[in-house]
Structure 1
Amino acid sequence: METTTWDQLVALHGMVTQRLAKVMQRGHGIGLSEYQALCRLAHAADGELRMQELAELIGLNQSSVSRLVARLESGGLTRRDLCPNDRRGVYTVITDKGRALQKEAEPAYRQALTEALDEASADTRVSEFAAKLRM
């Protein structure tokens, strides 16, 4: 039973993330990981997170999150800041432009998520797991 549930989760995740990624890229010019990072930053205290913490929250390794933050910085959506108590600690901080983009993209993200889960509910491969998410 565990492997069946896991297989459904993996399939559902793939279906949903593919749809969300398309919506974010086509509608807002950012990737899904960039949107997820902006969301985490927008909801963090003072709009900032240590790079390692951001990596853990969005499921990326340190190298990948460094590249992601570099892309966000180049677009003016975030900026880096050094930790005042530990100069080795690096924070990424959301900018006003980043907050605006995250707020602008949020309704499309939510709608795409709802639609993806609706479609998954009709797909026999993942319908059981999709129903569990809606409880």
Structure 2
Amino acid sequence: MSTEAWGRVVALHARIEGELGKALQRRHGLGLSEYRALDHLSRATGKNDSMRIQELAEALELNQSSVSRLVARMESAGLSERDICEDDRRGIYTMLTDEGRKTLAEAAPTYRETLKAALEKAEADPQLKDTVTAFRTL
């Protein structure tokens, strides 16, 4: 892949992330990282459908410190709760609350609709059209 093609991928990613973040914040008061954390937690199959904080950090491609702050914000909003790992007292799990599941269910259509619209908008840009087409064929 050429640096020019990579630049188009980065531009497409930035544009879509920006639109997703704005829509989620405006309609649901959620940041994009919070939405993605809720989504990962909703698919967790561990203890009580929870994930270790470290696993969530890896899934979100964020460092431990950033995810700890993210989880603290989600807890303050009533979207998730923490639990200590009984096998390893150093390990901390996080899991969705009922409010978190409800918030995710309400925000998911916004995410999907915004993603679709952002891709369509980007496809209309001659510099990004081929990049969007390539992603649509994956």
Establish whether TM, by shorter chain, passes 0.5: yes
Give how far 1:52 is off: 1.1
Amino acid at match of 1:116: A
Identify the residue that residue 66 of structure 1 maps to in structure 2: 68
Instruction: Identify the match of residue 121 of structure 1 among 107, 120, 123.
Output: 123
Unaligned runs of 5+ in 2: none
Aligned-residue CA RMSD (Å): 1.0
Paired residues, number: 135
Secondary structure of 1:92's aligned partner = strand
Q: CA deviation at 1:2?
A: 2.9
2:66 aligned counterpart, secondary structure: helix
Cα-to-partner distance string for 1:50-82 (whole Å, 9 max, x where unaligned): 111111111211111111000000011000111
Q: Could you list the runs of 4 or more consecutive aligned residues of structure 1 that deviate by over 3 angstroms after TM superposition?
A: none
Amino acid at match of 1:14: A
TM (normalized to structure 2)? 0.93
Task: Supply the distance in 2 between the matched residues of 1:5 and 1:65 (Cα, whole angstroms).
Answer: 31
Q: Residue by residue, what CA displacement relative to the aligned partner does 1:73-109 show, whole Å, maximum 9, x if unpaired?
A: 0011000111111110111111110000000100011
Once the two structures are overlaid, the 10-residue window that deviates more, 14-23 or 42-51, is 42-51
TM-score, scaled to structure 1: 0.95
